[in-house]
A and B are shown apart, each in its own frame.
Chain A
Amino acid sequence: MNKKIVASLVMIGSMVALATGATIAYFSDQVSDTGNTIAAGTLSLAVNGSHNTATDTFHVSNLVPGGWQTAQGAGGVALKNTGSTHGDAWFTIANVVTSGDGSLANLVQPVCELNDPPYGHTYTPANYSITQLSGYKVDVGTINPGQTVDVYCYNLWPNGTPTVDNAAQGETITYDVVFHLDQIIP
């Protein structure tokens, strides 16, 4: 057969094969629904209006066993997404430093709630002490561009055994709270 005819036939065959392959790939991609979007934009988090470090946010003094106290000052933080894309907010406790034998960190339970309607949604897991929350990822959820989520926090010291509670008296814990905002890619 003529060479040119063979070349044309080969071309037709490969085009049909490639087009079929692409169509199959298109439909299977629709099923698995993976990454058909590109997310341009910026993401930036502000905690109480600060983009760098927020200092002296949560302070509680004179905490007693069986009691609870709101953090002094605002009693909470305002997390604002100042970027242009949606973000997933979460926080964790880091760099816990204790005076004394360190037992207070195992007893005090920080509780953080949503300070907006609907009230009563708690972010922190129940009965988790500062020690347990150290390195634990506490999810706050999605914050849309321009949106602010108010988080209200207090510290709880449930009654324990007197010996343990007594040992912790007079102790001080200092710690960092690291707030994260991660981009959500649709």
Chain B
Amino acid sequence: MKRKLLIARNAIFGLLVLYALFIILTSIGLFGGRAYVVRSGSMSPKIGVGALVFDSKSSHYKIGDVITFHRAGFTDPVTHRIVKISKGTAGKPVYTVKGDANTAADSQTVKPGDIIGKVNHSIPYIGYADVFIKTLPGLLICILIPAVIIVYHEVLSIAKEVTALKIAKTKSKSRRSKAIRLSKLESQKQVSKIVASILFLVLLGLFVAQTSSASLSDQVTATRNSVTAAPRH
């Protein structure tokens, strides 16, 4: 039973490590992909406000793909869905995109060179954490204070280890076994420390994630307007 628990714990732990690494590496643009925090709601309900999306480059994009792309005049890239593909100059495709929650497609089309990547998956609401982390209180609470605590604990454990080593060098048998017990206790504590540092790494990953907008838009067309010139006399 104890063994099974141990395996389960290690498995969860392993997954956490992989996940943390994945978030951090995609955030900084490795794997050819990137993570973006979606700041607005035009892709809801599929991608809500504050979701974290993971983009990867693709050789071709099809109708229905949700893509993140650069748009002239905007600092943030935009995340919208491809609704139409037409042929542009030199046979290159031109993409018409639309936010799921918007009534009409975007007036600006997207060229292949502007596309950053295709959204593979998304995690809802994590972006709110990202926005908080990017404030000064967020930086202190989520990153600097945990870092100081971890460093403090490590310094303490070095001190304890040094003491234990000194005791172990003495000849007394009882004292030596006490030293081994102390040492074991330390390695059990190590697990919680590692979990804490993973959490810390995930938060740091969010800190470096960029933002993307899914801008809402609405349009109303006034049809059948006319201008008639006076008839010729």
Contacts and interface: CB of A to CB of B under 8 A. Distances in A.
A39 B227 contact: no
A38 B221 contact: no
Contacts of B220: 45-47, 50-54, 178-179
A40 B144 CA distance: 29
A19 interface: yes
A87 B220 CA distance: 14
A18 B204 contact: yes
B54 interface: no
Contact of A182 (B37, B49, B128, B215): B215
A180 B226 contact: no
A113 interface: no
Contacts of B148: 19
A176 B219 contact: no
B86 interface: no
**Size bin of chain A's contact surface:** 35 or more
Contacts of B208: 25
B144 A23 contact: yes
A58 B216 CA distance: 27
Contact of B157 (A8, A22, A59, A182): A8
Contacts of A168: 229
Given A60-B227, A61-B226, 19 more contacts: A8-B161, A15-B197, A18-B201, A25-B207, A34-B76, A35-B213, A37-B131, A38-B128, A39-B49, A60-B228, A64-B229, A87-B218, A157-B229, A172-B226, A173-B227, A176-B221, A178-B219, A179-B222, A185-B213
18 contacts: A8-B161, A9-B154, A22-B144, A23-B144, A26-B136, A35-B211, A39-B39, A40-B40, A40-B49, A42-B41, A43-B217, A53-B221, A53-B222, A58-B222, A64-B229, A155-B227, A168-B229, A174-B225
